[in-house]
């Protein structure tokens, strides 16, 4: 994340794609509001895919990744720091402004808080898994398309738990089970995925 | 035991050993496939609800079972290659990935063909179908990642990392897709319940599953041997083998 434009881009992408859905599906508010949880979550997934594909690219090109790899600290911890910074600039921001987009798609009021909360937890997983995809493909030319193939299947549970939590909240159910599952996924990913990221980065440095 | 594992890591020894295994396993596979298919397609009684169309399970179920098991074989080989840096484990992983992908595709296609007469549609977003589709993507990811790397040693390690992450994720994916489906169960499609399968239909099915496991093993071994020949085409031991033959 080198400039404010880098931070604004995923939000703009989110905004643009959210605009496309009413144009594609028709402006019927009722229909939009039933589709809103899925639409918002899929768009969040895509925008996280887009921004994390280049997460390690500049570090790889200017050689600072090699410096990190030979630093006297575990690479996984250093990577976790980098991913946290990335998340604060992308996933966290996206989750915070998501109620705005929820309102635009006619998501009922009582669903907005759960949308924000589920994205807050879910983007942690999305960012970590995206970072792993970026680490695996950073040394490959044209790695972007390959990365979506690697990452999307792994993100399926996050998407399911997230959309289900929001849908439950809308129909007046209790979303806490699904939020708890999302939280569990986030904690598990925080513990394990940095190890995979550091292993993948070392592989990429060998390529 | 340890000397056996140690020997497995040596390409010339493995090449000879796998040659002997294939020589016995290949005829066994063909016999099992022929007997299982004949039993399932000709001898087993028709289903009282689905008639003869159910017989596709003798391809569908074994392919699905072995496709899933194949991912674990691949991930286990990946773990071995990451931890002990054994070259043969790399070769195993690389050989298993395309076979597993093809089996997954076979399970999906036969499932679609079976779905048409049974549910009246080629494709439904059923929990098991969706999970198999995601498994296909996981396999294709490993294959594509391996092809994308120029340095093949690094490629094998990258695939090992990816398949291990996939292994941790597969149970979560399966469970989540299961919940997702039970929440959205469409009312228009009636699924026949999980009725207990009669033993006259079960035994040929088990035989076919065994046959598919053998088929998987033989195909992976043949794949590995082809890979070994290519990697060691300049090595002395291989040229000597060619001269002996």
Q: pLDDT for B200-219, tens place per residue?
A: 888 889 999 999 999 999 99
Q: Give the pLDDT confidence of A122-143 residue by residue, as tens digits.
A: 999 999 999 999 999 998 887 7
Closest CA to B69 of B111, B106, B100, B92: B100
Total tally of structural domains belonging to chain A: 1
Confidence category of residue B195, pLDDT binned at 50, 70, 90: low
Burial classification of residue A174, based on how many CB atoms lie within 10 Å of its CB (0-12 exposed, 13-18 middle, 19 or more buried): exposed
The rounded distance, in Å, linking the Cα atoms of A180 and A182 is: 5
**pLDDT score for B196:** 64
Residue A16 located in a structural domain: no
The rounded distance, in Å, linking the Cα atoms of B99 and B87 is: 19
The rounded distance, in Å, linking the Cα atoms of A133 and A189 is: 14
Contact predicate B205/B57, CB 8 Å: yes
Touching check for B97 and chain A: CB below 8 Å? no
Residue A7 located in a structural domain: no
Among residues of chain B, what percentage have pLDDT more than 90? 41
Residue B7 located in a structural domain: no
The rounded distance, in Å, linking the Cα atoms of B234 and B245 is: 17
Buried b (16+ CB within 10 A) or exposed e, B150-174: eeeebbbbbbbbbbbbbbebbebbb
Q: Please give the average per-residue pLDDT across A31-56, as a whole number.
A: 89
Residue A27 located in a structural domain: no
**pLDDT score for B62:** 93
Residue B55 located in a structural domain: yes
Residue A28 located in a structural domain: no
Which contiguous run of DSSP H or E holds residue A87? Answer: helix A75-89
Which contiguous run of DSSP H or E holds residue A15? Answer: helix A4-25
Collect all residues from A whose CB is shorter than 8 A from any CB in B.
132, 136-137, 139-140, 143, 146, 149-150, 152-154, 156-157, 160-161, 164, 185, 192-193, 196, 199-200, 203-204, 206-207
The rounded distance, in Å, linking the Cα atoms of A127 and A140 is: 20
Calculate the CA B54 to chain-centre distance: 22
**pLDDT score for B237:** 83
**pLDDT score for B190:** 45
Cβ contact, residue pair B183, A164, below 8 Å: yes
Expressed as residue numbers, the domain containing B129 is: 23-186+200-244
Cβ contact, residue pair A136, B154, below 8 Å: no
Q: Please give the average per-residue pLDDT across A180-202, as a whole number.
A: 94
More confident residue, A118 or B175: A118
Expressed as residue numbers, the domain containing A154 is: 40-206
Q: How many residues does chain A have?
A: 207
Cβ contact, residue pair B149, A152, below 8 Å: no
Q: At what angle do helices B87-119 and B57-84 cross, to 10 degrees?
A: 160
Please state the pTM of the whole predicted model. Answer: 0.88
Q: Which residue of A has its CA nearest to B165?
A: A196
Residues of A whose CB is below 8 A from B175:
157
Total tally of structural domains belonging to chain B: 1
**pLDDT at position A2 over 70:** no
Q: Please give the average per-residue pLDDT across A78-93, as a whole number.
A: 92
**pLDDT at position A67 over 70:** yes
Q: Per mean pLDDT, which range of A24-33, B168-177, B180-189, B235-244 is the poorest?
A: B180-189
Phi, psi of B216, deg, nearest 5: -60, -50
Closest CA to A115 of A177, A170, A187: A170
Domain of residue B100, CATH code: 1.20.120
Confidence category of residue B188, pLDDT binned at 50, 70, 90: very low
Residue B168 located in a structural domain: yes
Sign of torsion over alpha carbons A162, A166, A172, A175: positive
Of the residues A38, A133, A154, the best mutation for testing chain B's interface (the one with the most B CB atoms within 10 Å of its CB) is A154
Among residues of chain B, what percentage have pLDDT more than 70? 94
Among residues of chain A, what percentage have pLDDT more than 70? 99
Q: Per mean pLDDT, which range of A3-7, A53-57, B147-151 is the poorest?
A: A3-7
Residue A1 located in a structural domain: no
DSSP β-bridge partners for residue B244: none
Q: Please give the average per-residue pLDDT across B133-153, as a whole number.
A: 91
Confidence category of residue B121, pLDDT binned at 50, 70, 90: confident
Q: Please give the average per-residue pLDDT across A60-82, as a whole number.
A: 91
Residue B153 located in a structural domain: yes
Q: Please give the average per-residue pLDDT across B183-192, as a whole number.
A: 54
Number of C-beta neighbours around residue B43 at 10 A: 11
ipTM reported for the complex surpasses 0.85: yes
Residue A128 located in a structural domain: yes
**pLDDT at position A1 over 80:** no
Confidence category of residue A117, pLDDT binned at 50, 70, 90: very high
């Amino acid at each position: 994340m080198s400039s404010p434009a880098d931070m604004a881009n995923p939000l703009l992408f989110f905004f643009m794609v959210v605009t496309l859905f009413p144009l594609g599906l028709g402006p019927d508010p009722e229909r939009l509001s039933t589709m809103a949880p899925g639409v918002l979550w899929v768009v969040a997934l895509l925008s996280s895919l887009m921004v994390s594909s280049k997460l390690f690219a500049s570090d790889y090109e200017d050689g600072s990744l090699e410096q990190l790899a030979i630093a006297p600290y575990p690479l996984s911890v250093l990577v976790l720091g980098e991913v946290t910074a990335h998340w604060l600039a992308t996933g966290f921001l996206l989750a915070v402004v998501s109620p705005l987009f929820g309102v635009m798609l006619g998501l009922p009021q009582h669903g907005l808080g759960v949308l924000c909360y589920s994205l807050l937890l879910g983007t942690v997983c999305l960012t970590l898994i995206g970072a792993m995809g970026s680490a695996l493909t950073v040394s490959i030319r044209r790695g972007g398309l390959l990365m979506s193939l690697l990452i999307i299947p792994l993100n399926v549970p996050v998407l399911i738990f997230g959309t289900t939590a929001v849908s439950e909240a809308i129909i007046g159910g209790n979303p806490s089970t699904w939020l708890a599952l999302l939280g569990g996924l986030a904690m598990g990913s925080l513990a394990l995925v940095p190890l995979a990221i550091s292993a993948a980065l070392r592989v990429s440095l060998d390529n | 035991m340890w000397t056996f594992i140690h020997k497995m890591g040596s390409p010339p020894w493995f090449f000879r050993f796998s040659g002997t295994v294939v020589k016995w396993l290949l005829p066994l596979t063909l016999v099992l496939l022929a007997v299982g298919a004949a039993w399932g397609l000709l001898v087993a009684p028709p289903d009282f609800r689905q008639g003869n169309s159910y017989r596709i399970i003798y391809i569908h179920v074994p392919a699905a079972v072995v496709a899933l098991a194949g991912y674990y074989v691949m991930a286990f080989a990946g773990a071995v290659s990451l931890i002990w840096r054994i070259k043969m484990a790399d070769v195993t992983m690389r050989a298993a990935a395309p076979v597993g992908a093809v089996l997954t595709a076979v399970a999906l296609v036969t499932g679609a063909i079976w779905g048409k007469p049974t549910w009246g549609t080629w494709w439904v977003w059923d929990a098991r179908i969706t999970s198999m589709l995601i498994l296909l993507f996981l396999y294709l990811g490993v294959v594509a990642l391996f092809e994308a790397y120029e340095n093949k040693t690094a490629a094998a390690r990258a695939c090992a990392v990816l398949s291990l992450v996939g292994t941790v994720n597969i149970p979560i994916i399966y469970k989540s897709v299961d919940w997702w489906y039970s929440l959205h169960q469409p009312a228009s499609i009636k699924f026949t319940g999980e009725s207990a399968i009669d033993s006259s239909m079960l035994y040929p099915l088990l035989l076919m599953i065994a046959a598919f496991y053998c088929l998987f093993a033989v195909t992976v071994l043949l794949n590995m041997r082809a890979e070994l020949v290519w990697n060691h085409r300049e090595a002395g031991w291989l040229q000597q083998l060619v001269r002996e033959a």
